Chain A
């Protein structure tokens, strides 16, 4: 639009100049490819939840439930015998539980970044991935919450963390960063759910209306009367289930006006929130007077790492989904490119932070600090440091190459490396700083027990169970937002440029 007004106001010299330099026409890659229409988008996304449950879903669900049972058993074992069944031993009193907590919370950050920060930055490409990424955030927070909750030891006293007087009428004390963390994480979980839910209301309305349409038409296909009855019954369930949560949404212009404002405000609220959450998580470490933890670089370094790991997880989840549901027209190469580039950017920040930590350890001339860092890279946990450094610093650098970004299988494998690397980063930070503390007589070597390993392994099952349920019952992509970025939605009729808008 801006270019057209400029064109008309060009004077002769400018026109001559433009004719001379012959500016290249830049085409923005379309966000929905193959010139699809609105109905195609609605159908594509709604049919994921409306058609018969695919066999692979049941298989994945069975595997996920079995995996999740490891967490259940691990926690049962822990609660019935005590935190001693974990590998914690003085001086390493923060082991896998904290590592896993920070790992999962970090994963969640990409969801909020996509839904909030990219919304404020008007990045249209966020639309097709933001719903799934927000779901990922919420499920990751659920997995994260388990660890500190059970790490308190007597989980039945976990309510002491909340601002209600405990059995001795003592309040929580707010001078501890751990208490700030309770507020940060619970606010983060709650606001993420609110944002996710509000974004879903119009799409739930669509699913409701489609169920009503099918019930009115009444034409159910099926091999026998039983199958038809089942299909009809499912639609009655859908009509009522989605109607409750859609709250009577009817796509009115007035609804959209308030909804869009609320969406923008929530994006504006979630942006400082997501930055604060991992900042406060990093305070858990940074406020301790322990070499290796006590550094001012932690808040930005943790936030960058969180976004890095989160985008890794988004790629891990979305690439298989794209193939399974043939979503290639909605999650295009442009989306993958952009996600890879964010991994590259944040991965480079993380790499810079690793190196800067070393520089400061040397430049600060504090012998304890220098020891902590030399020990981190060359001490007894050198293998963890190598894992961290190679996965987080070298892997994303491959995303500079277009050939790599276009190789979906390779991108997927690299996204797994990112996840692994980021887990090791938290392990390195937590364990190496504790294992070799101020008193060499108490130095130890930390190893997790089977209970540690199974509890953590099981959270992937729990995450998958929740994500599979999301796939089956809720719209995977925000239908309204995807339509909004399509050229047909332009009220000023720039429909003709099928390649998308000009810049």
Chain B
């Protein structure tokens, strides 16, 4: 592991931040990210990122919920302990529909939140970026691009010059 985590650079406003991200992407860096206290419209494309994988987790959550609801009602009311109620059938896919519907939504929601955490690799206890006072200002209005030292193209001098060229200010190295 290197001593340095990477280099961070700040940008004055959202358009320059956005275009700088496109330039970092085009320069071929892989281990880098943008940091802003609000989601920037179109940023995933500017960063060259693919569509989020969160819906896959939602889908499996939903399927589980639906089958759980269906199976539960059948097992409890038709298989394990059938009760005669108003001459209604012990099982049908119709009457337990509200149960299946609600459980589909419930487990999809858990899948979505869990998927968000998994795809973002959260919870994370420590990240070296928080050692930087400049980086902490992202909580306010600072817009930061950080290029990590583990990137193949990373070079202390060249990367710093590159960030200057694309309009970065307050450039600093963050230690790991």
Contact, CB under 8 Å: B55 / A174:
no
B170 on the A face (CB < 8 A): no
Contact, CB under 8 Å: B17 / A249:
no
* Partner-contacting stretch, out of A142-150, A204-212, A381-389: A204-212
Contact, CB under 8 Å: B136 / A174:
no
From B106, B117, B136, A187 is in contact (CB under 8 Å) with B106
From B38, B44, B49, B98, A183 is in contact (CB under 8 Å) with B98
Helix, strand, loop or mixed for chain A's interface?
helix
Q: Which residues of A contact B47 (CB under 8 A)?
A: 253-254, 257
Tell me which residues from 121 to 176 in chain B have a Cβ below 8 Å from any Cβ of chain A: 122-127, 129-130, 133, 136-141
A15 on the B face (CB < 8 A): no
Q: Using an 8 Å CB-CB cutoff, how does the interface string of A355-396 with B read, 1 for contact, 0 for none?
A: 000000000000000000000000000000000000000000
Q: Which residues of A contact B125 (CB under 8 A)?
A: 248
Q: Which residues of A contact B49 (CB under 8 A)?
A: 253-254, 257
B40 on the A face (CB < 8 A): yes
Tell me which residues from 1 to 48 in chain B have a Cβ below 8 Å from any Cβ of chain A: 13-15, 17-18, 21, 33-44, 46-47
Q: Which residues of A contact B129 (CB under 8 A)?
A: 250
Cα distance A190–B113 when bound, in Å?
A: 12
A431 on the B face (CB < 8 A): no
Supposing A163-B72, A175-B77, A491-B18 touch, asked if A251 and B99 sit within 8 A by C-beta, the answer is no
CB-CB nearest 9 A-B residue pairs: A248-B124, A491-B18, A38-B141, A261-B52, A171-B76, A253-B34, A483-B38, A262-B116, A209-B139
Q: Which residues of B contact A250 (CB under 8 A)?
A: 35, 124, 127, 129-130, 138
A3 on the B face (CB < 8 A): no
Q: Using an 8 Å CB-CB cutoff, how does the interface string of A171-193 with B read, 1 for contact, 0 for none?
A: 11111110110011001001100
Contact, CB under 8 Å: B42 / A484:
no
Size of the A side of the interface (Cβ < 8 Å), in residues, is 71
A37 on the B face (CB < 8 A): yes
> Would you give the shortest CB distance from A67 to chain B, in whole angstroms?
33
A447 on the B face (CB < 8 A): no
Q: Using an 8 Å CB-CB cutoff, how does the interface string of A61-89 with B read, 1 for contact, 0 for none?
A: 00000000000000000000000000000
> Would you give the shortest CB distance from B79 to chain A, in whole angstroms?
10
Q: Which residues of A contact B18 (CB under 8 A)?
A: 491-492
Q: Which residues of B contact A261 (CB under 8 A)?
A: 51-52, 54-55, 116
Contact, CB under 8 Å: B109 / A190:
yes
Cα distance A332–B72 when bound, in Å?
A: 49
Contact, CB under 8 Å: A489 / B40:
yes
Interface residues of B (CB under 8 A from A): 13-15, 17-18, 21, 33-44, 46-47, 49, 51-55, 58, 72-73, 76-77, 80-81, 83, 85-86, 88, 95-96, 98-99, 101-103, 105-106, 108-110, 112-113, 115-117, 119-120, 122-127, 129-130, 133, 136-141
Tell me which residues from 181 to 231 in chain A have a Cβ below 8 Å from any Cβ of chain B: 183-184, 187, 190-191, 194-195, 197-198, 202, 205-206, 209-210, 212-213, 216
Beyond A163-B72, A205-B139, A273-B102, 12 additional pairs, beta carbon < 8 A: A38-B38, A175-B85, A190-B106, A191-B106, A198-B113, A247-B117, A252-B120, A253-B21, A253-B33, A258-B54, A269-B112, A480-B39
A27 on the B face (CB < 8 A): no
**What are 24 inter-chain pairs, A to B, with CB distance below 8 A?**
A38-B140, A165-B81, A173-B83, A175-B86, A179-B99, A180-B99, A183-B103, A191-B106, A205-B139, A213-B136, A248-B126, A250-B124, A253-B21, A253-B44, A254-B33, A258-B52, A258-B115, A262-B54, A273-B105, A276-B101, A276-B105, A488-B13, A491-B15, A491-B41
Cα distance A198–B116 when bound, in Å?
A: 9
Cα distance A165–B139 when bound, in Å?
A: 50
> Would you give the shortest CB distance from A215 to chain B, in whole angstroms?
11
From B83, B95, B102, B137, A184 is in contact (CB under 8 Å) with B102
> Would you give the shortest CB distance from A391 to chain B, in whole angstroms?
31
Report the nearest A residue to B144, measured CB to CB.
A251
Cα distance A8–B43 when bound, in Å?
A: 26
Tell me which residues from 252 to 278 in chain A have a Cβ below 8 Å from any Cβ of chain B: 252-262, 265-266, 269-270, 272-273, 276
Q: Which residues of B contact A483 (CB under 8 A)?
A: 37-38
Contact, CB under 8 Å: A259 / B116:
yes
> Would you give the shortest CB distance from B141 to chain A, in whole angstroms?
4
Supposing A205-B139, A258-B54, A258-B116 touch, asked if A183 and B127 sit within 8 A by C-beta, the answer is no
From B17, B55, B85, A173 is in contact (CB under 8 Å) with B85
